Amino acid sequence: MNKPQRELTLRFLAEPQDVNFGGKVHGGAVMKWIDLAAYATAAGWSGRYCITAYAGGIRFVAPIHVGSLVEVSGKVILTGRSSMHIALEVSACDPKSLNKRLTTHCIVIMVAVDEHGEAIEVPAWEPETEADKKQHDAALKLMEMRKQIGEEMQIFVE
């Protein structure tokens, strides 16, 4: 098996069908791009088919205009037995200037599965740089916070 690929970037142009009634790319299109990049990152790391288990903390910080060059970058920041926490950033720019700006960021948790849809073990990732360690620690904190939020959210599903 090849060495796991920790990072990945998808690049493409925002198309007219991606635009909402306000003339900007709609959040649903951005969320689809995030899911695609999360899948590709997780599959590259695990070498397996992966499914989305969680997407959260999505922050839309700047609009994307039709015709913009869009980059969706994913990076593994924490691994569990079968799960991978993927940090994602979406940036956009006019393709003539290439002056990129952050538009969206979030965390997605992907789970590797076998041919029967059962969770399967993934390679462990260990942080090496200080930046890696900070992101890893932040992912652990967010995991605890998600557990608390999940418990609070039960009131809405019962």
Angle at the Cα of 141 from the Cα atoms of 135 and 147, rounded to 5 degrees: 135
With a threshold of 0.75, does the pTM exceed it? yes
* DSSP symbols for 24-61: BB-HHHHHHHHHHHHHHHHHHHHSSEEEEEEEEEEEE-
> pLDDT by residue (tens digit) across 122-153?
999 999 999 999 999 999 999 999 888 888 88
Q: Per residue in 4-15, is it b (16+ CB within 10 Å) or e — as a string?
A: bebebebeeebe
Question: Which distant-in-sequence residues (6+ apart) come within 8 Å of 38 by Cβ?
Answer: 52, 55, 74, 86, 88, 108, 110
Decide if domain 7-126 falls under CATH 3.10.129.10: yes
User: Could you tell me which of 148, 127, 142, 133 has the C-alpha nearest to residue 55?
Assistant: 142
- pLDDT score for 86: 98
CA atoms within 13 A on the CB side of 103: 25
**Where do the structural domains in the chain lie, given as residue ranges?**
7-126
Q: Is residue 154's pLDDT more than 80?
A: yes
Give the mean pLDDT of 22-50: 96
